[in-house]
Structure 1
Amino acid sequence: MILIPEISTVLILVPRTGSGSLRRAVLREYPEAMQIYRHMEADGIPYGYDTWRRVGVVRHPIDRLWSLYRFLGKFGGGQHDPAFVAALRNSVDRPFGEWLIHNEIVFTSPYDRANRGRFWPGYACNHPIPENRKSQAVYIRPDLGTEYWTFEHLDQLAASLGVTMQERENATTHDPAPALEQEAEAYARSVFAWDFSVTGAAQCRAASR
């Protein structure tokens, strides 16, 4: 979540929706912009700032989770704690369809996975749910009036914020998600019904049966 005083806007950063590139563009352009949380949901906007324009990006749910799945397999480096890195990498040590249904590891959480009592407030969120169970509606909260743009219109959103995006540093390759078996397809349709409806995706990439 980024507060942008210059344009009275709150940017909600949904994981794997181009949020990193958009975040960097905003912070380059606006000196007063403040990233107070990495992936806080729209219902976590601080008092007073909730009167500003709020905006975020929504991506096809299977594409987003496939991107996250591949990202986690290579996750690491930087300032991340080794226990955090290991937990996320180990979570994807199984086929995508199995991870989609059964993953229990939360991607964004301020709590210490090494059990040493540490806490990172910048990673706090109101709904620490595994991403394979967390509709983007939980991040965006359309019922609160958040304006959302589809991933395909990311550049147009950037332009509406008065910024220009550069090359995406954390982008994964454009390989399509593998076909889903019947159980995984039914699961995705149930959990991500809102996500499918707003991205115009009538069908999952289902395996032939």
Structure 2
Amino acid sequence: MILIPDLETIVILVPRTGTRALKRAIAERWPNAIHLYRHMEADGVPQGYDRWRKVGVVRNPADRLWSLYKYLRRFGIDHCQEHEPVYTAAMRASVVRPFDDWLLYNERVFTAPYDSAGTGRFYPFYTCRHPLPENRKSQFVYLRPDLGTELFSFDDIAALHELLDVKPPFINGTNLAPLPELTDQAHDYLSNWFAWDFEAYLYPEDAKRQRPSDFHAAAPPFYTNPLGLMGGAA
């Protein structure tokens, strides 16, 4: 979560939606910006600042989770060496399994303020209100358009950059390995847990008026991938 006083705008940072490049660009363009939390959700905006504009990016959930899976395989090695080694090792260990298996059964939380090394330390910067595993955390939980957050599709992220007057570099891109063929169980899982995300990614304006509970487990044919919505960006 980044507060930009010059614009009276708050940027909600959903993991694997171009956030690291964006935060660097914001810091350069807006020196007064405050990177208050790593991945705090929109319902964690500090009191008073909740009157400011809130913006965030929503990505195809299959692509986002595949990108996160690949990212974690090299976490603390190729990038993010600033993190506690015990934490990065635990993240890497969580993805020593096929993607389908990680998608269905992962229990490891990506962002939480609690120490991973047994020293009892607490890290306020990593605080979030809903410390769920990413494979069960809809982007709705991060963005909360029902609280007024404006959504930008990942495919139209340039519109957000223009709004914030920034030009982020391309960094932290994962390898280009495509999303592997998913089992029927994995397809059903994505359609169930992330139905809102698929809708919001394609129609961010319409998603403002919907909540995950508006979608039921028997997802409509739209989510069974006729449009390649579960196919593979890096």
* Equivalent residue runs for 1:23-38 within 5 Å: 23-38=23-38
Work out the number of aligned pairs and report it: 205
* Equivalent residue runs for 1:7-22 within 5 Å: 7-22=7-22
> How much has 1:176 moved relative to structure 2?
2.0
- 2:134 maps to 131
Task: Give distance in 2, aligned partners of 1:2 and 1:174.
Answer: 29
Structure 1 counterpart of 2:54, which letter? R
Contact 2:113 2:124 in 1 (8 A): yes
- 1:191 maps to 193
Q: Deviations over 1:31-81 (max 9, x none)?
A: 110001010000000011100000000000010000000000000052211
Q: Any idea what SS the aligned residue of 2:56 has?
A: strand
- 1:99 maps to 102
Task: Give distance in 1, aligned partners of 2:159 and 2:14.
Answer: 17
State TM-score, norm by structure 1: 0.94
Contact 1:178 1:205 in 2 (8 A): no
Task: Give distance in 1, aligned partners of 2:176 and 2:145.
Answer: 28
- 2:171 maps to 169
**Given the alignment of the two structures, is residue 112 of structure 1 paired with residue 121 of structure 2, yes or no?**
no
Task: Give distance in 2, aligned partners of 1:63 and 1:50.
Answer: 30
Contact 1:38 1:122 in 2 (8 A): yes
* Equivalent residue runs for 1:64-79 within 5 Å: 64-77=64-77, 78-79=81-82
Structure 1 counterpart of 2:174, which letter? T
Contact 1:9 1:54 in 2 (8 A): yes
**Given the alignment of the two structures, is residue 87 of structure 1 paired with residue 90 of structure 2, yes or no?**
yes
Q: Any idea what SS the aligned residue of 2:6 has?
A: helix
Task: Give distance in 1, aligned partners of 2:230 and 2:53.
Answer: 34
Structure 1: stretches of 5+ with no match in the other structure: none
> How much has 1:173 moved relative to structure 2?
2.6
> How much has 1:205 moved relative to structure 2?
3.5
Task: Give distance in 1, aligned partners of 2:177 and 2:8.
Answer: 37
- 1:61 maps to 61
Task: Give distance in 1, aligned partners of 2:177 and 2:106.
Answer: 22
- 2:154 maps to 151
Q: Deviations over 1:4-37 (max 9, x none)?
A: 0000000000000001111111111011100010
> How much has 1:114 moved relative to structure 2?
1.7
**Given the alignment of the two structures, is residue 2 of structure 1 paired with residue 27 of structure 2, yes or no?**
no
Structure 2 counterpart of 1:197, which letter? E
Q: Deviations over 1:138-163 (max 9, x none)?
A: 00001101001011111221011111
Identity %: 53
Runs of 4+ in structure 1 deviating by more than 6 angstroms, as ranges, are none
Structure 2 counterpart of 1:145, which letter? G
